[in-house]
Amino acid sequence: MTQTTARTSGPSVLMRLRAIATSFLARRILKALATIFIVVSLTFGLVRLMPGNPIETYTFELMSQYNMSYQEARDQAAALMDVNLDAPLYQQYFEYLGKLLKGDLGNSYRSKGTSVVSYIKQFLPWTVFSVGTSLLISFTLGVTLGMLMAYRRESWLDHILSTIASLASAIPNYLIAIMLIVVFGVQLKWFNVTKMRGSLSPGMTPGFTWEFFADAFYHAALPITVYVLTTVGTWMLSMKSSTVQTLEEDYVTVARARGLSDGRIMTSYVGRNASLPLFTQLAISIGFVVGGSILIEQMFVYQGIGQQLFKAINARDYAVMQGIFLVITISVVVANLIADLLYGVLDPRIRSGKE
């Protein structure tokens, strides 16, 4: 057995390589890696194209804050930031790539000694929690209401929900956030905006306790409400049109003729087929979960990755920006990859085509 393998190892390696090149999965993964590489390189260049640089920005900050002279502030800024921005760009680029391959995203320029990885570890979970929860709620609610609208199409319920859905998805999320704060928080005083700020109450220690989860949800409630309100409409309308189409399908009529119960037809025949086109959309949304929303986190002072990105951009903290963009890129690409693969599992017609 081993002998045979040894003798035919030449062609078999070639064949295996060919198999990899033609395998759907391998091709998709290679494509995903290439995408990540290209985006990483572009990000590297783009963040450096922004006017100003980390030292400059900090210098002006120090000057205005402490009334220092330019030279004094510049020295202090340069001393704080242990980076050589004067090195040739390609040298910086390869240094960055080299570290990246080892999983080292470098240190924050601004907060000396804090690694970008630890930054992301600290803030990313909050964004994933708030945006992820809202996506879950939004998708479930949207799909359910969309189906309801399709089943009751042309009824008053359908008209009301359609109007609400189009309206809600047309309003930018920051406007809804402002409305929530000003109208319900400040004027009607339905909730205490100041107390709800942040991602946790002071003194709350993370752990598997009821208090912790309740507190986390309390603080995430407003961002989640905004995310849900602004995204649920799209899910509703997509699901409605998809369901209306599916209801016209012959197999639904035949299912009725077969005497299947309405519930069974609604879930396994209509719902399952109608939601297929939504999964690509869902995967893309899952990818963007880590990105969060800069504006919303900023407005509710929610300590997620979006807020950190905002701070990093203001401070021109290249390392942090690159790190956050990298995480967003990877998750979008991976989510799409999973969507492609999952789609085959969900829809057998695609599966057999790719095998």
Partner 1 sequence: MTINDGLLVMTKTVLEVDNLSVEFPARRGLVKAVRNVSFQLYEGEALALIGESGSGKTTLGLSLVRLLPKTARIREGRILYRKDGEEQDVLLLSREGLRAFRWRECAMVFQGAQNAFNPVLRIEDQFIDTARAHGIRDKDKVRAEARELLRRVHLDPDRVLKSFPHELSGGMRQRVLIALGLLLKPQIVILDEPTTALDILTQRSVIEVLRSVRDEFKFSLIFISHDLSLAAELADRVATVYAGKIVEIGNVFDIFEKPRHPYTQGLTQTVPTVTGELRELISIPGSPPDLIEPPKGCAFNPRCPYASERCRQEQPPLEEVGDGQFAACWNWREITERKPL
Which of 11-19, 123-131, 133-141, 245-253 is the region at the interface with partner 1 (rule: CB under 8 A)?
245-253
Least distance CB 250 / partner 1 (angstroms): 4
User: 207-236: which residues touch partner 1 (CB under 8 A)?
Assistant: none
Please say whether the beta carbons of 303 and 141 come within 8 A.
Answer: no
Residue with smaller CB distance to partner 1, 104 or 262: 262
Give the number of other CB atoms < 10 A from CB of residue 113.
Answer: 8
Give the one residue of 140, 163, 166, 268 binding partner 1; rule: CB under 8 A: 268
Contact flag: residue 355 with partner 1 (CB under 8 A) = no
Give the one residue of 85, 197, 249, 281 binding partner 1; rule: CB under 8 A: 249
Contact flag: residue 253 with partner 1 (CB under 8 A) = yes
Contact flag: residue 264 with partner 1 (CB under 8 A) = yes
Q: What are the angstrom distances between the C-alpha of 79 and each of 55, 105, 178?
A: 9, 21, 41
Residue with smaller CB distance to partner 1, 194 or 261: 261
Give the one residue of 221, 260, 330, 334 binding partner 1; rule: CB under 8 A: 260
Residue with smaller CB distance to partner 1, 172 or 353: 353
Contact flag: residue 302 with partner 1 (CB under 8 A) = no
Give the one residue of 251, 267, 284, 338 binding partner 1; rule: CB under 8 A: 251
**Which amino acid is residue 80, in one-letter code?**
L
Q: What are the angstrom distances between the C-alpha of 96 and each of 44, 90, 100?
A: 9, 10, 6
**Alpha-helical regions (H) of the chain:** 2-7, 9-22, 24-49, 54-66, 70-80, 89-101, 116-151, 156-170, 173-179, 193-196, 210-247, 250-257, 262-264, 272-275, 278-288, 294-299, 305-314, 318-346, 348-354
Closest alpha carbon to 338 in 268, 282, 278 = 282
Q: If phi over 0 gives left and psi between -120 and 50 gives alpha, with beta otherwise, what is residue 107?
A: beta
Residues that contact partner 1, how many (by CB under 8 A) = 23
Give the one residue of 59, 199, 242, 273 binding partner 1; rule: CB under 8 A: 273
Summarize as ranges the residues that interact with partner 1 (CB under 8 A).
249-251, 253-261, 264, 268-269, 272-273, 276, 346-349, 352
